[in-house]
Amino acid sequence: MMTALAPAAWQVARGEASEAESYSELYGRCFDASWPAADFSAYASDPGCIVFGAHAAGHLAGLIVCRCAVDEAEIITLAVANESRRRGIARALWERALGELAEKGVARVFLEVAANNEAALGLYRTLGFEEVGVRRGYYAEDAQDARVLAITLRD
């Protein structure tokens, strides 16, 4: 088990395709599903995507992946290792991605989050996201509904 990190101990940096295995491994530790490293590599190489990781002491503590299309974007995933949660890493990842989304002219950002993931719903609400819909049975592995959240960055 890794030791929890203080905010001063980690840095947010652009994700690289060469880190795809680490991203896939972290995702697998954070969620009940796996995500192939090849997908993370593709996102990191795609100019329409934004990938950032929070790193400390040679390991990946958190990640965010966003995909942009014209003036909208989607948070594909935001994950923080269990032992590093509640230390501002998710917020720092979002703020770094937000800056880049704004530079790209994004007006609105969407995401889906499991309806029973109260911690994530709470985080997104504190970041200014609002619920705009529900996707019934979105998560195939357990037929869990997803809440669709959105935030407007500019009119």
The catalytic residues are 112, 124
Buried b (16+ CB within 10 A) or exposed e, 4-40: ebeeeebebeebebebbebbbbbbeebeeeebebebb
Provide, for the chain, the percentages of residues in helix, strand and coil under a 3-state DSSP scheme, each rounded to the nearest 5.
35, 35, 30
Per the CB < 8 A criterion, the answer to whether 63 and 19 are in contact is no
